[in-house]
Amino acid sequence: DYQYYALQKGKCFQKQWHRNRLILIEELHFLNLRAAVADIGCGSGNVVFAFAGKVKSIVGFDYNTESVEFLLSKIKSDGIINSDASTLDILDAVPELYRNKFDKIIFNEVIEHFDKSEVETVLSNLSKMLKTGGEILITTPNYGISPWTLIELLIDKFKMFPALLGEQHRVKFTLAGLESYCKSAGFFIKRKGTFSLLSVLLAVFGAKFAEYIVKVEVNHLKYFGPQIFLVARK
């Protein structure tokens, strides 16, 4: 339940970092009321809770059974009727039940946790879950020209979270590198960019101001933000 409480009760910068991912989805107009959605690597379900009322259906998938159990419990207690959660390892063969099922897939801050040798399999399996013409939104730390590497070193040095560099984060993506992987997997790139350069720090001036700034970043910050986003179509 870490992500849920980080968004709801975290410190200013931590909360904004998680809010930015939700604002990104809104600003890209990625979802709609007709969409069957999968949030893969859903954690404790922030995307599910934020967008259940704005889509046809949404399923949160995670390999962590505790995260899935937390999400299922919240779905039930909150009375969310068009949502579900299930355990899934995206490296395994995609169950027939989930093949060609989803209009939209959200893959937030997950792809960097695999080995390079596994990324091709991950993207292939994500494609199998999408309907023809379906779209995927991927976000990941930006190891290109951005402050992310410094941020990561500081996080590891001061032990703010479990170690990231070389342990949790196994693949260091640049925007061009992620685009290349997706094209090789047969995806057509619709939109790409970066975000979270100033908006997280400016949250000290209030959530509404930070929200305005992250929207500007999504629309205009092509290269320098510490987080990459990419929208691709099957």
- Read off the CATH number of the domain in which 119 is found: 3.40.50.150
Sheet with 102-108: strands ordered across? 83-87, 57-62, 36-40, 102-108, 130-141, 227-233, 188-195
Cβ(59)–Cβ(38) below 8 Å = yes
Comparing C-alpha atoms, which of 162, 156, 160, 223 is closest to residue 194? Answer: 223
Pairing of strands 57-62, 83-87: parallel
Counting residues of the chain whose pLDDT is more than 70, the rounded percentage is: 89
Class of residue 160 by CB neighbours under 10 A (exposed 0-12, middle 13-18, buried 19+): exposed
Number of domains into which the chain is organized = 1
Contacts of residue 204, defined as CB under 8 A and 6 or more positions apart, other chains included, come to: 12
pLDDT in tens, 156-205: 555 545 444 555 678 999 999 999 999 999 999 999 999 999 998 899 99
Q: What angle, 0 to 180 degrees and rounded to 10, lies between the N-to-C axes of helices 12-27 and 207-220?
A: 50
pLDDT in tens, 92-106: 999 999 999 999 999
Comparing C-alpha atoms, which of 108, 95, 174 is closest to residue 142? Answer: 174
Q: Which domain holds residue 109?
A: 2-233
pLDDT at position 51 over 80: yes
Distance CA 35, CA 56 (A): 5
